[in-house]
Structure 1
Amino acid sequence: MTWHIKHFNELNTRELYQILKERTDIFVVEQNCPYPEVDGRDVDCYHLFKLENEQIAAYARLLPPGVAYPQASIGRVIVPAIHRGKGYAGELFARAVDFIQQELNEVEIKIQAQEYLCRFYGAYGFEPISESYLEDGIPHVDMLLKERRVQQQV
């Protein structure tokens, strides 16, 4: 079980295929939400993922400032169903925040959170900055982290 963080240009074809497959399986199929999952932003992003038995066990897309928002962002956060309940989501998100703050040297991070996950993201210091709204038929809330977190051992 190994964590990886790679810029788009560093991904091999197998990694890219697995990432896009898992994102589509979760966001389009599982959530029954037809939308353009491949949105053109991946090429400008970092991709954080955990491999377990050569399969994606957790994944997040890390967007530098200016790709989606003026601030850095974290999106496409997934843990496939067979890996849920193992604590991967928390470890994934802590690593994502740490990478943006430590490696990209960005303090503010904006996310578009599914409303039911606001408590989860709030545990990392994110605060709501919008009212609830529908995005592709799913309630979302924009959230912002404004302070540098103390780096956690992950």
Structure 2
Amino acid sequence: MSWKVKSFNELSTHELYEILQVRTQVFVVEQECPYLEVDGKDVHAHHLYKEENGEVLAYARLLPAGVSYNEPSIGRVLVKEGHRRKGFASELMKRGLAFIHNEWGEQPVKIQAQEYLREFYGSFGFKAITETYLDDGIPHIDMILQNPTS
């Protein structure tokens, strides 16, 4: 198993297909939430993922400042069903924050989180900056991390 981080242009067509397939499986099918999953932001992103034998087990999309927010952001955070509760999500966030800090030198980091994950993201230092709101019928909050290095 290996962790990879690639820009859109560095992804092979197979890697891109695997990423889009697992994102659709988790965010559209599992969560029963029909929405435009392929939203045009992937071309600006770095794609962080854990892969084993060509299968994407965990994934996050790292967006530079100016794409979703004024700050850089981490989104589409997922661990594939059957691979959850193995620490992959925490490792994914640690690696994503390290990439943003080390490669882009950017602070703070802003995310849109599903409300039920407030404590998980809070464990990395993210603080809620909005009240809970519905996005595609799912409760969300916006959160910010002022100092990704702490």
TM-score tier, shorter chain, comes to over 0.9
Q: CA deviation at 1:13?
A: 0.4
Q: CA deviation at 1:53?
A: 2.5
Quick one: distance in 2 between partners of 1:134 and 1:93?
24
Residues 1:33 and 2:72 aligned together: no
Q: CA deviation at 1:107?
A: 1.2
What does residue 46 of structure 1 align with? 46
Unaligned runs of 5+ in 2: none
What does residue 15 of structure 1 align with? 15
Q: Using the aligned pairs only, state the percent identity.
A: 58
- The CA RMSD measured in Å over matched residues stands at 0.7
Quick one: distance in 2 between partners of 1:148 and 1:72?
11
Amino acid at match of 2:6: K
Task: Flag as ranges the 4+ runs of structure 1 deviating above 3 A.
Answer: none
For residues 27-50 of structure 1, give each alpha carbon's deviation from its aligned partner in whole angstroms, at most 9, with x where no partner exists. 000000000000000000000000
Q: CA deviation at 1:54?
A: 1.9
What does residue 5 of structure 2 align with? 5
The TM-score normalised by the length of structure 2 is 0.98
What does residue 122 of structure 1 align with? 122
The TM-score normalised by the length of structure 1 is 0.96
Quick one: distance in 1 between partners of 2:54 and 2:35?
28
Q: CA deviation at 1:148?
A: 3.4
Three-state SS of the structure 1 residue aligned to 2:82 is: helix
Quick one: distance in 2 between partners of 1:86 and 1:14?
25
